[in-house]
Amino acid sequence: MEEQILTPIIGSEDGQAVLSTWSVKAGDHIDIGQIIGSIETNKAVLDLESTKKGVIKALLVAAGTEIADLQPLVTVIVES
């Protein structure tokens, strides 16, 4: 079953943020809580943690892309 990992609600004034780096790629196995990338806001650089366990089907945004709160970032084939 496919599920998506979303941008967390960052709490910055207007949700402005950039997906600055990916530390995983399509095909990688990821676990819940694993750091899969970083998000840079004007206030801080934050770790992006996986909320799913499974295999990455696709990264939906490229590094350097501006992202919004709750935007889908990763499609994961989740393990049952």
Give yes or no for a contact between 75 and 20, defined as CB atoms under 8 angstroms apart: no
**Binding piece for other proteins, criterion CB under 8 A, among 2-10, 22-30, 34-42, 51-59:** 34-42
Distance CA 27, CA 57 (A): 6
Distance CA 52, CA 55 (A): 9
Minimum Å gap between C-beta 44 and other proteins is 6
Minimum Å gap between C-beta 20 and other proteins is 8
Residues that bind other proteins (CB under 8 A): 12-14, 16-18, 20, 40-45, 66
